[in-house]
Chain A
Amino acid sequence: MALTLKQFKNCRILRNHKIQKEDLWIRNGKIINPEKIFFDEKTKADIQIDCRNAIIAPGFIELQINGGFGYDFSYSDDTVAKGLLSHGVTSFCPTVVTSPKEIYHKVLRKIKKRAGNEDGANVLGIHVEGPFINVEKKGAHPDQYIRNFAMGFETVMETYGTLDDVTILTLAPELVNSCDVIKELVARDVVVSVGHSMGDLKHGEAAVSCGASFITHLFNAMLPFHHRDPGLVGLLASDKIPEGKTVYFGIISDGTHTHPAALRIAYRTHPNGLVLVTDAISALGLEEGKHTIGQFEVEIREGKAFVAGTNTLCGSIATMTECVKIFKEATGCSTEYALEAASLHPAQVLGISDKKGTLDFEADADFIFLNDDLDVLQTWIAGERVYFKPT
């Protein structure tokens, strides 16, 4: 079946930043150039699929998700990986919040990068959010496990045990020794993100020049923008970014964590770096009530997630589809942009935009069918359908 040549007809595909009337051809899990098939192989498609005018976009890539459907990643990632398919997410980075060393040693060995299929989305590697963060911006993270780089990179390895399947690491750039740690991490192909920080703009710029390239949930768990010291938010308009480098930033457009005006500010200031993340917690997809996140009890009230018994927000319970819709509505951006902010841009953060987050030829055939309201109708991974919305 893998070598079956499939032609998706009667669709509009997102390619070259434009939704265009075009057929999509796939074979062997990859998107292929039909012109080559026509002139070189002189064959026609084995299967033609009528898409009924659906939009086909690259599958969503989720760089920050703590869990969902009752599970967080310190417990299990299978249920989440499967559940995400219905929300159009074809790849994700399971995110592990600040935890004790024993948990890291266990969990970071358990979660592996793996190819997706009908049992779940691709796992692109783990996002470790903490424990090297600022206790004053701990958010929902348990403060007793927050650490600093006392012994530099040695502390990092001692804490996590392994970085083999770690793809993104969030740290507070103001911590002593952070620059050396960032360099070590980047040398190991770990994307360093700044966040949960009291750092000012200089800390942010120093981190970027050491190799950091991402900002964790912009505006949340960092100093608010101030015109005399714009803080990490100022990285969006900094003139100290090395030539040719793009600093990306995650932003939670769940309608709660970031005000629509703040979404617009970020969008208009630095559109090329904007990455939609849900920061969803295990309560995603669950009823109102109490649930577990990391070492914490959380409580769902009125569609929002709080640290149980407090008014501190501790992550969203919005799906990526909802975030895309809310973002588009709030910023008035094009449909193309909203979709790419959840697909192409996160792939660029990870340096994999030749394979993921795109419908260009030779990319992985991970894509979604959407209607004009941007509801997910079908999800495909590696050229196989892994979800379809019941009609």
Chain B
Amino acid sequence: MRLVILETSAYVAEWSAKYVMKRINDFKPGPDKLFVLGLPTGSTPYGMYQKLIEFYKAGKVSFKYVKTFNMDEYVNLPRDHPESYHYYMWNNFFKHIDIDPKNVHILDGNATDLVQECNDFEQKISEVGGIELFIGGIGPDGHIAFNEPGSSLVSRTRVKTLAQDTLEANARFFGNDISKVPKQALTVGVGTVMDAKEVMILITGTHKAFALYKAIEEGVNHMWTVSAFQQHPHTLMICDEDATLELRVKTVKYFKALSAVHHKLIEEDIPLEQYRTIH
């Protein structure tokens, strides 16, 4: 695992966007060689999307041959609801870039057969040969996508009933009315993300500090589902200073000492391959 500790959340946004750009460009995608990207929603990745749009507009990266799979979506929420992840992805990313709509995959929470929808999603991921880079954020309780505490660490894409804590946390997006918060979501499983060739997790803010501690300093535990990525060969955690507050000094110092190496990961003229050994 790599842990990249950056000064601020703004820099986390920029760093992660540069990394995504570099991965796409190094991959040299084409009509017969699509770069497959797993995408999150939420406030943490928002800044990264903003930066990616900026790089796209500056002509530094194209999404023409990028295929995307989103992590999750609410069940029974109209697609044009401002809290739906379709709405989020369209407004915060897709409408600004040159991605082909045929290459975009978001779980349909309004599908008549939700189980079928989830199975099809897994099927589509395998058909394209798996996900090259899966980007995720985490919740304060250490969940990745909607894999709430207690989720199986080998879970696949499925319907998930949301934890009471999540409903309460989300009520603010639904006029502070908890009865309006969707009770279920479709989500990729921990196992689905584990299958990606590389996983990049963004963690910012003091409220995520305890989750980061649980993710990297304690053992693998299904109550903190993000901890599963300790067993992934290519996990890249990007966090800001605030998110490190619960970590030991030793941990922080160790990873900060590696920052020179980490920064080479986003330098435009150095091919990534030599740095992508297993950590």
Interface string of A36-64 (1 = CB under 8 A from B): 01110111100000000000000000000
Q: When the two chains form their complex, are residues A35 and B87 in contact, meaning their CB atoms are under 8 A apart?
A: yes
Q: In the complex, which residues 8-36 of chain A have their Cβ closer than 8 Å to any Cβ of chain B?
A: 23, 33-35
Interface residues on A, range: 10 to 19
Given A23-B95, A34-B95, A35-B80, verify A42-B102 contact (CB < 8 Å). yes
Per-residue CB proximity of A242-285 to B under 8 Å, as 1/0? 00000000000000000000000000000000000000000000
Which of A34, A35, A42 counts the most chain B CB atoms within 10 A?
A35
How many A-B contacts if CB must be within 8 Å?
Answer: 28
Verify A35–B101 contact, CB threshold 8 A.
no
B173 contacts chain A at the CB level, 8 A cutoff? no
Task: Please measure, in the bound complex, the distance between the C-alpha atom of A229 and the C-alpha atom of B147, giving whole angstroms.
Answer: 70
A35 neighbours in B (Cβ, 8 Å): 79-80, 86-87, 90, 95
Secondary structure type dominating chain A contacts: helix
Contact B90 A38 (CB under 8 A): yes
Nearest A residue to B102 via CB reads A42
Residues of B within 8 A of A43 (CB): 101
Q: Which of B95-119 contact A (CB under 8 A)?
A: 95, 100-102, 104, 106
Q: Does B102 lie within 8 Å of A38, measured CB to CB? A: no
Q: Let me know if A38 and B79 touch, CB within 8 A.
A: no
Q: How far is the CA of A35 from the CA of B101 in the complex (A)?
A: 10
B94 touches A (CB below 8 Å): yes
Q: How far is the CB of A307 from chain B (nearest CB, A)?
A: 56
**Nearest CB of B to A6, in Å:** 15
Complex alpha-carbon distance, A44 and B104, angstroms: 13
Q: How far is the CB of A306 from chain B (nearest CB, A)?
A: 54
Q: Which residue of A lies closest to B100 (CB)?
A: A44
Contacts of B101 in A (CB 8 A): 37-39, 41-44
Cross-chain pairs A/B with CB under 8 angstroms, 9 sampled: A23-B95, A34-B95, A35-B79, A35-B86, A38-B90, A38-B101, A39-B79, A43-B101, A44-B101
With A35-B95, A38-B101 given, name 18 new contacts (CB 8 A). Answer: A23-B95, A34-B95, A35-B79, A35-B80, A35-B86, A35-B90, A37-B101, A38-B90, A38-B94, A39-B86, A39-B101, A39-B106, A41-B101, A42-B101, A42-B102, A42-B104, A44-B100, A44-B101
